[in-house]
Amino acid sequence: MRAGNFHFTSESVSEGHPDKVCDRISDAIVDTFLTHDPLSRVAVETMTTTNRVVLAGEVRGPEQVNQDMLEDVARHAVREIGYEQEGFHWKNLALENYIHNQSADIAVGVDAAGNKDEGAGDQGIMFGFACDETEDLMPAPIYLSHNILKSLAEARHSGAEPGLGPDAKSQVTLAYENGKPVRATSIVVSTQHRSDLNQDDVREIVRPHVVNVLPEGWMCPEEEFYVNPTGRFVIGGPDGDAGLTGRKIIVDTYGGAAPHGGGAFSGKDPTKVDRSAAYAARYLAKNVVAAGLAQRCVLQLSYAIGVSKPLSVYVDTQGTGQVSEDDIAKVLCQLVELSPRGIREHLHLNRPIYARTAAYGHFGRKPDTDGGFSWERTNLVESLKSSFGAS
């Protein structure tokens, strides 16, 4: 984002949003294949509507991951989200499975063979971004939008707020002064709720979760605090609207504060650069900012299907850099091999770590001890500082 004074808005959606239900199911299927064979190939899409789930896509993996297992995985994902409603119930929904074996034409281009390294699973451009607006080096509007919904979800799952349903959305508008966020000017939260609660009831349930997430003194004016603006949100989730995998790519990344290459993440194993290279780009950009080389960093990678090396590596510090952007790009390429195989090995991506990424953003999360969110580590900082003589 630019310097100066302006307002900027980002939105998030909860794990119970119809599209996020699909992302969760697709990523749970990825995890299932990787659990049984870390080298499985998976590209699975999910569609949901009233009491129905449809699976489609292509896979290459162990035979024990069969149709019955995948159906159990899908139902378990819906149950974990919390859907036991008349119009969408994990136990009663109809499930159709059209997943089939991977195309041999794709496999031959991607697989390593002889002197040929593993190639990218598709062509494409991937962006990573980091900035110093929050402790996790994320743009503040999307970071706060995610955390409001995470707080509401935790209260719902714990039983502290039994009146809430799984489906919810948030939207945060922040005022920037001299390029830095200073306060919220409006907050929107829409959340599914029990039929016996009215709009005022829901407003007071939501309020503390917003106030506690925002920095002190950042709460918007009361007249700009919108909770369930239509007044009622009882029918939600896939019963209220159809869902599809990969339809919330801006929510998944930087809330519109940075470019997006267009590829979705969920449902794809880490040989797909749509996913793994976007994670690598975030990892590199975050380490650049964490090392103090810039206040903001956009990093782009590009690939061709079947080709292992990136076709380009582009760094833009948006006028905040302390060193040459070309030099940053060269050093990053020395520190991390950016082939699909190199990324997978460096970030340990062939693990069942993806269902947890399906809601509340793929970035700005704390690295897990089992390797989840490994792309959020800042373990390149010392090498970057050393390369540029920074203290």
Q: Identify whether the C-beta of residue 4 lies closer than 8 Å to the C-beta of residue 181.
A: no
Q: What three-state secondary structure class fits 283?
A: helix
Q: Which residues pair with 126 in a beta bridge?
A: 301
Catalytic positions, written as ranges: 17, 19-20, 45, 58, 169, 233, 241-242, 247-248, 268, 272, 274
d(CA 150, CA 73): 23
d(CA 189, CA 13): 10
d(CA 367, CA 353): 11
Q: Which structure tokens are listed for 3?
A: 């310097």
- Strand order, beta sheet including 296-303: 124-131, 296-303, 312-316
Show the 3-state SS of 288-354. Answer: HHHCCCCCEEEEEEEECECCCCCCEEEEECCCCCCCCHHHHHHHHHHHCCCCHHHHHHHHCCCCCCC
Q: What three-state secondary structure class fits 203?
A: helix
Task: Name the residue type at position 200.
Answer: D
In this structure, what are the phi and psi dihedrals at residue 71, rounded to the nearest 5 degrees?
Answer: -65, -40
Neighbours of 327 (CB within 10 A): 14
* C-alpha radius of gyration, the chain, whole number: 21
How far are the Cα atoms of 46, 195, 306 from residue 27, in angstroms, in the given order?
10, 32, 24
